[in-house]
Amino acid sequence: MTQPNEALRTILPLAAWRDGPAADVAFTGGADPVLPTPFRIGTAGAATLAASGLAAADLWRARTGRRQQMTIDLRQAAAALRSSHYIKLGGAEVSTTRNTVMGFYPTRDGRWSYLHCNFPNHRAVALSVLGVPEDRAAVTRAVATWNAADLEEAIIAAKGAGGMVRSHAEWAKHPQAAAVAALPLMEIIRIGDSAPEPLPTGDRPLSGIRVLDLTRVLAGPTCARTLAEHGADVLKITGAHLPNLGYQEWDTGHGKLSAQLDLRKPGDVDILRGLVPKADVFSQGYRPGSLAARGLSPEELCAIRPGLVYVSLSAFGHAGPWASRRGFDTVIQSVSGITVRQAETEKTAEPQFYPVSAIDYCTGYLMAFGAMVALARRAQEGGSWLVRTSLAQVGKWIVDLGEVPAAALEGIPDEFTASELERWSTTSETPSGPLGHLKPAVQLSETPPYWARPSVPLGYHRPVWP
């Protein structure tokens, strides 16, 4: 049975740490299962959060010479894996309902196809490939005329997102699964030379550290939100023309400034490049190579700003036949066997998602861990750094943690108690009214994490450093 401290020990080697730091972490809140899924989501959440907390504590030790103790509640860590679920704006629930045509459909060859249709552009692609209007019954009839593998390729070729539902065994034989299996969980690579940079002065682990956040949806924005909760100044850059789901921005926007640029315009790319010399971390989640066309590759930005920590997230990893493919947490779950396994647990024929966004949030915590480890190395030995991972690599890691025994899932409730949620929650005053949300789940004895800025509407600030 994998406990959170065992799972944490699979992460620490990424920082070339031995087991020593793990002794500074106390895990409370029992063990999996905490929600009705066979996957060890509480363990995964607690371990990745602990890694991020240890990296913050290590930076604090570098500043002050003092260690600190950390506590993580496993149940609270699991709740954090769906923190968007617990947002209230002005006292009202913020809807997280998915688009009606997003989901699973039976195909002609007796399989299932997953259509990712939450964003309007991906929805338009799926409906165009199928030749039907936005109507679930029409989509169902159209998908039933396709073989699942053919539909998967047609939607990807048209720049959509989705996939053929596979079992664990089928995915294990896929060339992309082999490519992912050959990669570590994450890489922290020195990619350039520069002089050591002592940490800026300040009373928090990341005081004075500046982060450019060019990520979208959940995993990447969670990385920057995590850096903000330890004191970094985060400037989120998005585009007014890019689709977003609204509620996710309230969830991942804590602690950030938010500005808009259109990277299709050379002038706006110049503004972004002008922000890089004063940045410490540049975090991006676009498909491998897509930012290089705009002069924003790791090598180019580290030439502008030697000592930069460039954090790069992809869906399927930087190697293998699917390296350039679009993907999301739900797509990874669908193609890699997770939705089939969840359906077996729930005793349904239709594939099912597990009840949280474990891949997304765990990936975000790991990205933040990697960024902080790279900052510590920069302070000690100098250098420019690339931190690189993917949703597929983290999904494999979660699956590899093993499953809870089927008997343990009997009678497990699908929600936390009201008193737990109240204890884990707080309220921030935002430009749009009071925002109720979960607090940071990591508890540090000397530098308790908090967000110094509230979530704001996208584009609320100008693209300048504070």
Give pLDDT tens digits for 219-228: 999 999 999 9
CB 43 within 8 A of CB 74: yes
If pLDDT is split at 50, 70 and 90, which confidence band does 211 have? very high
Q: Which residue has the tokens 């508890």?
A: 443
Residue 248 tokens read as 């996710």
Q: Is the pLDDT of residue 276 over 80?
A: yes
Exposure string over 144-176, b if 16+ CB within 10 A, otherwise e? eebebeebbebbbeeebbbbbbbeeeebeebeb
Q: Is 25 helix (H, G, I), strand (E, B) or coil?
A: strand
d(CA 198, CA 453): 25
Mean pLDDT for the chain overall: 95
383: left (phi over 0), alpha (psi -120 to 50) or beta: left
If pLDDT is split at 50, 70 and 90, which confidence band does 95 have? confident
Give pLDDT tens digits for 223-262: 999 999 999 999 999 998 887 767 788 999 999 999 999 9
Mean pLDDT of 411-433: 97
Q: Is the pLDDT of residue 23 over 90?
A: no
Q: Is the pLDDT of residue 22 over 80?
A: no
**4-95+181-318+355-444 CATH:** 3.40.50.10540
Q: Is the pLDDT of residue 65 over 50?
A: yes
Mean pLDDT of 372-397: 98
Residue 128 tokens read as 């165009």
Exposure string over 7-25, b if 16+ CB within 10 A, otherwise e? bbeebbebbebeeebbebb
Secondary element (H or E) of residue 249: helix 247-252
If pLDDT is split at 50, 70 and 90, which confidence band does 10 have? very high
Mean pLDDT of 45-69: 96
